[in-house]
Structure 1
Amino acid sequence: MPSKKRLSRLTSFENLKLKLTEGEQSILDGQQGQTMQRVLKTLVLYGEALGAERLVELNGDGHFVIAWATPGIAPSFKMLDELIDAGLKTKLPFTLDPSAPLDFENWRLRPEQERLLEEMYRDQGRYDEKILQLGLRDRDAYSCNPFDPEVGNLPEKGSILAWSESACAIYANSVLGARTNINGAIIDLLSYIAGKTPLAGLLMDEGRQADSLVEITTEELPLPQLLGTVIGMKVLDGVPYITGLDRFLGKGLSDGTKDYLREMGAACATYSAVGLFHVENITPEAVEQGSDLLLPDYTRFQIDDKAIRKLEGTFSDGWPDRDAKPEKCFIGCPHLSLRQLNWWSEKILKRLESQNKNRLAVETILCAAPGVIEKYRSDRMTYEGMLDVGVRFSTSCAETLYEGEVCTGDAIITNSSKLKAYSTARFFPDEELVGILVDGVIPGGD
């Protein structure tokens, strides 16, 4: 047991604005042990920094950002061991971002790249076991698309969460109508161990009001990756209310619209601090409240075809050698849904057939959650057909592979603006990318 002097120093918060319940105060007084005391102290100080009046109970499963044991980024083993030794685990199960970039079988990296990654992630096995002990739902609960039915972390509207992965938090807030701030790594874990999070920001009605109006005036539906990037770069922070997309997507949330908004949101969160958007006639709160969500002094932005084309022109840059031929293509950042896997399969196989070819010219990896790939494999003819033409499937994450600079300089192509942001990959729209994969040539010779 810690000394009374130690307990006093931990709990003597002067001028504390955050109101504590009797149960919370008893934890801070050390009645559930020093480790739990430190967990709650961290959350109280975090809540004070956010200006929260109190802590609120979590009622939806977690999703955390750090799935890999990278020194200096992942939680320390000392902290994890202390939590485990104290018998603590999360009050609700959680899912994690994609597993560490060690899928050498499907990525076929150079030997020196594999050696560097093995060294960087030498403690990954230990980390995986500790995270499982602390409340990870199961050994397949790794994806940056946890909402898919095959993954099953689908919060209900109004659920209170403490998520940390920005691409997941923005989708949960915007498309599902759940409520979470974009919390920091480690704060996510501690929040779910305590079962509480500060009541502030996007958890509150006033924090979910829109401070900007984004009018989409394009002649056709923009690529979600490009539109999300433009929105993020224009808005930077706050909550945008987006109009004009229902002209193309229709009203409400079809599966295709959900995929579109997930891609758009991931791009937006990559290039900004936006954690929530509303889309007129489509997202739940916009359907319920309409333009009443807009604050009186909102800022107005307009996005037209010119803005989309301007960004797309810059996104094809990136390689040190612009004359290089594409070596590899990663698709699925964020992870693909089953519907998207089937779309890519149809496009690739039909394009090969039309060109009288039986093999892709560019190594291609499609990334999705373990459960999604398992479901996809149940269509044996399509799955084996894709393997035969050279496509490989991975449950890991290309972003973590390339943001560590282990593979910097490789001639990578992608349809992901998020991967583009963290690497030297060149971005191409989906339909154009299909042609490059089959022909091995970038249009225009660029």
Structure 2
Amino acid sequence: MKRHQLNGQIGTDPNFVHATHTGHSKANVKATDAMPELKLTPEEQDIMDGKRGELLQKSIKTICDYGRLFGAEKLVDLDCAPHMAMSWGSDGVEPFLKIYKQLADAGLKTYAPFTADPKPMDFDDLPMTKEETDMANKIYNRMDELEEINLSLGMIKGYWSCACYLPQMGNTPKYGDNLAWSESSAINYVNSVIGARTNRNSMGIDMLCSILGKAPYFGLMTDEGRKARWLIDVRLSKKPHPEMIGSAIGMKVVEDVPYIIGMDKFIPEINEETAGYLKDLGAATASNGAVGLYHMGGVTPDAIKYGRDLLKEGYQTYVIDDAELKRIYATYPNLWKDQEGTPERVFLGCPHMSYGQMVEWGTRIVDAMEKAGKKLLNKPTYFFGSALVRADFEKRNPEMVGKLKDYGVSFAINCPMMWCSTPVSGSERIATNSNKTRVYTTARFFFDDALIHLIVHGELPPVAERDTINFENK
């Protein structure tokens, strides 16, 4: 699909045609006979028979048919809370809006209060020209309708973020929890870093599962489906940038489950700092490929518990060394109309930044500005994060936040990827630290040091310097 072919609607996933969204690539899928009906509990059978109303009956029929397509034999109860990927109201999602409104009008609610991905625009903190504003309002013309419906169905007011699992957001599942989420980066994080279990569900399916409190049991929810078909052998001289190694893995395995070795010397444990690193690594695998789960030897919970028993018989091996990361980086296209132009804005955070990442980037910018003796940024710079993470950052770091705002740093709560996806906004030259934003938009990915140089001095470092930079995150 070409970008903007849907007049700016989100949904043109460049990897969609390569993925089954079950954690297993098309190369490993074999045709089977039609699957039998799912084995339902008496309660579920009552819903199927219409004893709980027509809408619940339609809902369970839909998710059972969905499950049968992928070999599910039963439904499982859902834990924690739902999270929805559909955060934009537009004519392009009208069928979903109609279904959701029917559910809301019937008084139905999700099994627990839910969170949702960030809105496409933040008119307060990410100013737009009149032309851009008019275009955004034309495309996302049903935002109020979506928000009203979501609140009726059980959404927590104001809880918009793709990183809903962060402690400030509170939608943090436990190890082994069953979920029915649809945001690819969040799915990747909770499956991999926390050890919860969810498939890469589509919009609509996520809501119907959440209304029922049940999901079909297959794929990444099963022990067998969580086994790895790839061994990723990391042989790097230095700690890799998470966006780069995630990109390399995603491009290679597409959506198969990888088991990564050689990273535990760089990531000895999961804590607040390393969780942000793993968040970005996983998001890159999920966008540059379609990975819903990765295991990291000695680091992630399933890998610690089961070790190499997670590798399937006949697994393939992919070696990542310094030369391979440089090769991957060299393949990234420059989609700017003026390919030699200077970036106009700097976008940091996609997925949304964690508290620790705001502190890290804030510290680096303040230090660089003070070292250069600068009073104002030379490029508009935006931290993207949830309103709750931003509030926590501001509360705990008032001096740093004051300096950042004086320099001209803005804190936006919307989705940078969607902001870049309108025909007008998409023509801007955006520099980003996010490989996900790079994949879905015309934004260009740059390493952290190059972005700091751009923010402070208003221009990128020389090409040779920025393109041969080491692959560390710092």
What's the TM-score once normalised by structure 2's chain length?
A: 0.88
In the other structure, the counterpart of 2:457 is 439
Deviation at 1:15, TM superposition (A): 7.6
Q: Which moved more, 1:169-178 or 1:138-147?
A: 138-147
In the other structure, the counterpart of 1:374 is 391
Cα distance in 2, alignment partners of residues 74 and 286 from structure 1: 42
Cα distance in 1, alignment partners of residues 165 and 215 from structure 2: 21
Alignment partner for residue 35 of structure 1, among 55, 59, 71? 55
User: How far does the alpha carbon of each residue in 1:189-247 deviate from its partner, in whole angstroms, 9 at most, with x for none?
Assistant: 10010110001011111111111100010101111001101000011121110001112
CA gap 1:15/1:341 in 2 versus in 1, 3 angstroms: closer
Question: Percent same amino acid among aligned pairs?
Answer: 38
CA gap 1:319/1:52 in 2 versus in 1, 3 angstroms: same
In the other structure, the counterpart of 1:56 is 76
Show structure 1 runs of 5+ residues with no match.
Answer: 1-13
How well do the aligned residues superpose, as a CA RMSD in angstroms? Answer: 1.5
1:145-160 mapped onto 2 (5 Å cutoff): 145-160=163-178
Cα distance in 2, alignment partners of residues 246 and 445 from structure 1: 32
Cα distance in 2, alignment partners of residues 445 and 111 from structure 1: 35
In the other structure, the counterpart of 2:364 is 347
In the other structure, the counterpart of 1:126 is 145
Cα distance in 1, alignment partners of residues 236 and 91 from structure 2: 45
User: Is it true that 1:306 corresponds to 2:323 in the alignment?
Assistant: yes
Cα distance in 2, alignment partners of residues 201 and 47 from structure 1: 10
In the other structure, the counterpart of 1:286 is 303
1:354-393 mapped onto 2 (5 Å cutoff): 354-378=371-395, 379-393=397-411
* Higher relative contact order, structure no. (Cα contacts within 8 Å, ≥ 6 residues apart): 2
Deviation at 1:74, TM superposition (A): 5.9
Q: Which moved more, 1:403-412 or 1:266-275?
A: 403-412
Cα distance in 2, alignment partners of residues 271 and 421 from structure 1: 7
In the other structure, the counterpart of 1:296 is 313
What's the TM-score once normalised by structure 1's chain length?
A: 0.93
1:219-258 mapped onto 2 (5 Å cutoff): 219-250=237-268, 252-258=269-275
Cα distance in 2, alignment partners of residues 352 and 294 from structure 1: 48
Letter in 2 for 1:384: G
Alignment partner for residue 99 of structure 2, among 65, 75, 79? 79
Cα distance in 1, alignment partners of residues 57 and 152 from structure 2: 20
- SS at 2:340 equivalent: coil
Alignment partner for residue 170 of structure 1, among 170, 173, 188? 188
Cα distance in 1, alignment partners of residues 295 and 98 from structure 2: 41
Q: Over alpha carbons, which structure has the higher Rg?
A: 1
CA gap 1:227/1:73 in 2 versus in 1, 3 angstroms: farther
User: Is it true that 1:18 corresponds to 2:34 in the alignment?
Assistant: no
Cα distance in 2, alignment partners of residues 303 and 151 from structure 1: 34
Cα distance in 1, alignment partners of residues 369 and 199 from structure 2: 45
Letter in 2 for 1:353: E
Letter in 2 for 1:258: A
- SS at 1:249 equivalent: coil
- SS at 2:159 equivalent: coil
